[in-house]
Amino acid sequence: MVTDGLSALRSEIDAFRAGFGQPELLLSAFHEAAVLVPLVDDDRLYTSRYARIAWICVFTAVEPLCHYLFARGADPGADHQFHTLRGRRLTDYAAAQADPTGIVIDPGSATPMALPPTLSDRNGNTPGVR
Give the closest residue to 55 by CA, choosing from 20, 26, 90.
90
- Is residue 29 predicted with pLDDT exceeding 90? yes
Length of the chain: 130
- Is residue 118 predicted with pLDDT exceeding 80? no
Question: For residue 118, what is the DSSP state?
Answer: P
DSSP assignment of 60-90: SSHHHHHHHHHHTT--TTS---EEEEEHHHH
pLDDT in tens, 36-83: 999 988 888 999 998 889 999 999 999 999 899 888 887 777 788 899
Give the pLDDT confidence score for residue 129 in this predicted structure. Answer: 40
pLDDT in tens, 105-116: 999 999 899 999
- Is residue 25 predicted with pLDDT exceeding 70? yes
- Is residue 2 predicted with pLDDT exceeding 70? no
First-to-last alpha carbon distance for the chain, in angstroms, is 32
Sequence-ordered list of residues with C-beta below 8 angstroms from that of 32, at least 6 positions apart, any chain: 5, 8, 9, 86, 87, 88
